[in-house]
Amino acid sequence: MALPARAEIVIIGGGAVGASTAYHLTRLGCRGVLLLEREALAAGSTGRSAGGIRAQFSTEANVAIMHYSIPVFEHFEELFGVDISFHQDGYLFLLNTPELVETFHRNALMQRRYGFDVEELTPEEARDRFLPQLNIEGLVGATWCGREGYADPTSATHGFANRAREQGATIRVGVEVTGIEVRGERIEAVQTTEGTVATHVVICCAGAWSGQIARMVGRELPVYGWRQQAFFTGPFDLLPERFPLTIDFAAGQYLRREGRGLVLGMTDENEPPGFSTHYDESWLEQLIPAAIHRFPVLEHATIAGGWAGLYDRSPDENAVIGEMDSPSRFLYATGFSGHGFMQSPAVGLSMAELALYGKTTLDLSEFSVERFRSGRLIREAIVI
Ligand SMILES: Cc1cc2nc3c(=O)[nH]c(=O)nc-3n(C[C@H](O)[C@H](O)[C@H](O)COP(=O)(O)OP(=O)(O)OC[C@H]3O[C@@H](n4cnc5c(N)ncnc54)[C@H](O)[C@@H]3O)c2cc1C
């Protein structure tokens, strides 16, 4: 089917953020929304995400984003008719220094103001309540919030996209944007592998590839790909059937249930920037000793497989959201690092409002790309 010759707004990228933006635009009554995805919906980072959803951030803007987003995930099936398997067993952060405990305590005070009932626990309480197999050696505290958990990002993306279609959006997959025509200050069209579409408004939701899209209008978005790997075990009954998504914060390592098995992941600070999504088992040499130290029963687990995907990483590991000063009407939502799926509901709403009204209900001004020029970086203490 030919692409429409003209679109009111073109969204580039069919991950969770692009699909949510299409949904929110059409919900606000916008017609003529065209979303272009070069592969398939959720084929980028979204479909390779661990699906974690949390409120425990240290900056108020990130908590405000989750204050809108978590209820959307909680009511997803009612809103979108799609079951996203939201396992709401909480996030359990394991903390190994008094300084971290103090930071998480201060954060909890702020998170509670947003209605998130974050509990502060001793290591013994965390172990006895959730994970009797936990080795608490070296831990001094923990936090837990029961409204957090994990869900299926691919189903959520399809949920947003289906509703957007029903509300009038055109969504085309297998179409790559290859250029953006600009005359003076104005965007005139996007060029694609399927022809040219006239438009004056572009929203870049291209994840780790957003820098390439920005260069099409002669601008920079400081976002790069950063490979993250995760692996899953075979059925494993030596840990509880249900337990929180558990993060050994200092080790940068997480563990959660996946069916009867487990998913484990860990950030590799030595990983260089790049776009490779090759799964490389050698990283397990770092992860496995750290995981077995914290959960000695894991020495009985079998590795069933693994995958790699890209964090769309920004220099301060926080989202880059806003509208370029030039050319006019080039909007961007990218750079989410490890938290783009969970933020997609609020970010989609905000992008829709910014495109249609030029302002947002949530104050997301601190996420503007201008912060990298002015040096006002976002100091988010809880990045995984
Ligand atoms: C292993 C791993 C674990 C993660 N865990 C979590 C987690 O627990 N919770 C969480 O919230 N986040 C997590 N993330 C991060 C999360 O996946 C991303 O931040 C999020 O998916 C970004 O969504 P997006 O829609 O912005 O980008 P993407 O999903 O990457 O979508 C961008 C899309 O743009 C398309 N595109 C690019 N260029 C073009 C072009 N020229 N023309 C057309 N289409 C184009 C791509 O094909 C892609 O589908 C994790 C990521 C990884 C890799």
382 located within any domain:
no
- Judgement on whether residues 141 and 229 belong to the same structural domain of the protein: yes
pLDDT of 288 = 92
Q: Check residue 363 and give its pLDDT.
A: 96
For residue 111, the CA-to-ligand 1 centroid distance in Å is 26
| Residue 29 sits in the same domain as residue 76 | no
- Give tens-digit pLDDT for 4-40: 999 999 999 999 999 999 999 999 999 999 999 999 9
- Look at residue 35 and tell me if it is in a domain: yes
Q: How far is the CA of 291 from the centre of ligand 1 (A)?
A: 26
Note whether 229 and 288 are same-domain residues: yes
Tens of pLDDT along 241-265?
999 999 999 999 999 999 999 999 9
CATH of the domain at 31: 3.50.50.60
* Best CA proximity match to 13, nearest among 218, 208, 152: 208
Nearest ligand 1 atom to the CA of 342 is 11
pLDDT of residue 381: 82
Number of domains in the chain: 2
Please indicate, yes or no, whether residues 211 and 63 belong to a single structural domain of this protein: no
Which of the listed residues 310, 332, 351 is the one where a domain comes to its end?
310
Residues 6+ apart with CB under 8 A from 169: 22, 23, 25, 26, 33, 34, 35
DSSP secondary structure string for all residues of 82-125: -----B---EEEEE-SHHHHHHHHHHHHHHHHTT--PEEE-HHH
User: Both tokens of residue 15?
Assistant: 């991950």
Instruction: Give me the residue label for tokens 């009511």.
Output: 75
Q: What is the pLDDT of residues 283-305, one digit of tens each?
A: 888 899 999 999 999 999 999 99
Answer yes or no: is 194 within a domain.
yes
Look at residue 174 and tell me if it is in a domain: yes
pLDDT at position 282: 87
Residues 208 and 69 in one domain: no
pLDDT tier for residue 323 given thresholds of 50, 70 and 90: very high
Are residue 356 and residue 258 in the same domain, yes or no?
no
Q: Which residues line ligand 1 (CB under 6 A)?
A: 12-18, 36-39, 43-46, 48-52, 176-177, 205-209, 228, 230, 265, 309-312, 334, 336, 338-342
Band of residue 380 on the pLDDT scale cut at 50, 70, 90: confident
Q: What Å distances lie between residue 62 and 70, 149, 298, 319, 382, CA to CA?
A: 12, 16, 33, 9, 10
Atom of ligand 1 nearest to the CA of 230: 1
User: Do 293 and 365 lie in a common domain?
Assistant: no
What is the atom index within ligand 1 of the atom nearest the CA of 227? Answer: 53
- pLDDT at 382 (0 to 100): 83
Distance between first and last Cα of the chain = 42
Domain of residue 125, residue span: 54-151+225-310
Of 310, 333, 359, the residue at which a domain comes to its end is 310
CA dist 366 and 356 (Å) reads 20
Q: pLDDT tens digits for 182-238? A: 999 999 999 999 999 999 999 999 999 999 999 999 999 999 999 999 999 999 999
Name the domain boundary from 271, 295, 310: 310
198-229 core/surface letters (b: 16 or more CB in 10 A; e: else): ebbbbbbbbbbbbbebbebbebebbbbbbbbb
If asked whether residues 71 and 211 sit together in one domain, one would say: no
Nearest CA owner, ligand 1 atom 31: 15
Q: What is the pLDDT of residue 245?
A: 98
Alpha-carbon 87 to chain mean position: 17
Global pTM value: 0.98
Q: Is the pLDDT of residue 139 over 90?
A: yes
Ligand 1 pocket: which of 12, 45, 157 to mutate (most atoms within 8 A of CB):
45
Determine, yes or no, domain membership for 381: no
Q: Are residues 199 and 237 in the same domain?
A: no
Which residue's CA lies nearest to atom 18 of ligand 1?
340
230 lies in the same domain as 286: yes
Regarding whether 304 and 242 lie in a shared domain, the answer is yes
Q: Is residue 184 part of a domain?
A: yes
Identify the residue whose tokens are 């940068």. Answer: 252
Beta bridge partners of 10: 34, 202
Same domain flag for 196 and 58: no
Distance 183 CA to ligand 1 centre (A): 30
pLDDT of residue 379: 82
CATH code at position 110: 3.30.9.10
Residue 77 lies inside a defined structural domain of this protein = yes
Asked if residue 21 belongs to a domain, the reply is yes
**Beta-carbon contacts of residue 231 (< 8 Å; ≥ 6 apart):** 263, 264, 265, 284, 287, 303, 304, 305, 306, 307
